[in-house]
Amino acid sequence: MQRQLQAFLSHLSGRNDSPRTIRAYGSDLTDFIEFLERRAGARAVRPGDVEPLDIRAWLAELSTRGVKRATIARRVSALRSFYDWMRREGIVETNPAKDVSTPRLERKLPRFLDENDVVRLVESPDDSEFAGARDRAILEMLYATGMRVSELAGLMLDDLHPDENEMRVMGKGSRERWVYFGPRARASVEKYLALRRGRRVRSNALFVNARGTALTDRSVRRVVSRWVKESAVRRKISPHGLRHSFATHLLDRGADLRAIQELLGHASLGTTQRYTHVSTEKMISVYESAQASMKRARGARRAGA
């Protein structure tokens, strides 16, 4: 099956899937093929020989190995995609992974910052010099637009249209969308670009490092993590937390869920709907806080009576 796997990965590359996605598919499917080979011994395993029971046995082994349920679900998804492709190519007649159920995932609510913590975070870098101005522009843009870190790292100078307060973003699956930002983010980016013009830059990327080359995803994550630590915000978040903060604050201010879906670049509204749970949790917290305040006030009145 290794030959079919390499052809499938080439197919993914040809349709411009991200290198990270292709690596994940390769790793997940290689694990499955090696599992089949261990079970078969000296016998060669052909794609059409695989049955649902084989897949369930693989899932049982993954669980025994302590693999997380989210990872198991991702591997089943990769296997379904692999077999769907082989079916379209005429390599197999059916998809044995189609009816194999995946483990139920724990629903985790997104972690986000309150608005005061966001302000504290984005104002932490000293923007009087190049690196600080760049870092502040990165933080402002991530929060103002809800972009993914990978999307921000992939921005080119030509993608930015500051006069219209908008920029073009290439999202997952090569889906293009336009995102919008306010005057604070615009001012931060313009200050960074002014300082950038006096430097030797060897890339057309919007955000570059001290050597003048494009920042990578990892570099952007380091920037965010550094300033989260420096600003000592009360709730520690990952770089993706600024995206969650953007969506949560929009919803709290009455934005339409469909509009938030478009801005985030979610293919499914169901992905965006998890932010309604965050808002509900916040509403309950506010209610309980108000009830506690009322109780304290009643106690104080009785004590003074």
Using alpha carbons, list the distances in angstroms from residue 21 to 2, 67, 74, 75, 131: 18, 19, 11, 12, 31
Question: Of 148, 186, 196, 249, which one is the catalytic site residue?
Answer: 148
Question: Of 83, 143, 192, 275, which one is the catalytic site residue?
Answer: 275
What token pair was written down for 219?
Answer: 């570099």
- Whether 275 sits among the annotated catalytic residues: the reply is yes
CA-closest candidate to residue 210, choices 218, 202, 169: 202
Question: Of 168, 266, 274, 282, which one is the catalytic site residue?
Answer: 266
Angle of CA points 15, 19, 21, to nearest 5°: 80
- Whether 11 sits among the annotated catalytic residues: the reply is no
CA-closest candidate to residue 58, choices 89, 37, 35: 35
Return contacts of 135-139, CB within 8 angstroms, 24+ apart. 135/223, 135/226, 135/227, 136/188, 136/191, 136/192, 137/185, 137/188, 137/189, 137/191, 137/192, 137/207, 138/207, 138/220, 138/223, 138/224, 139/223, 139/224, 139/227, 139/242
- How far apart (Å, rounded) are the C-alpha atoms in residues 107 and 23? 26
For residues 9 and 17, the answer to whether their CB atoms sit within 8 Å is: no
- Whether 211 sits among the annotated catalytic residues: the reply is no
- How far apart (Å, rounded) are the C-alpha atoms in residues 167 and 149? 15
- Rounded to 10 degrees, what is the CA torsion of 32, 33, 39, 43? 160
Question: Of 80, 221, 240, 282, which one is the catalytic site residue?
Answer: 240
Type of residue numbered 227? W
- Whether 287 sits among the annotated catalytic residues: the reply is no
Question: Of 168, 172, 184, 282, which one is the catalytic site residue?
Answer: 172
- How far apart (Å, rounded) are the C-alpha atoms in residues 215 and 223? 10
Residues with catalytic annotation? 148, 172, 240, 243, 266, 275
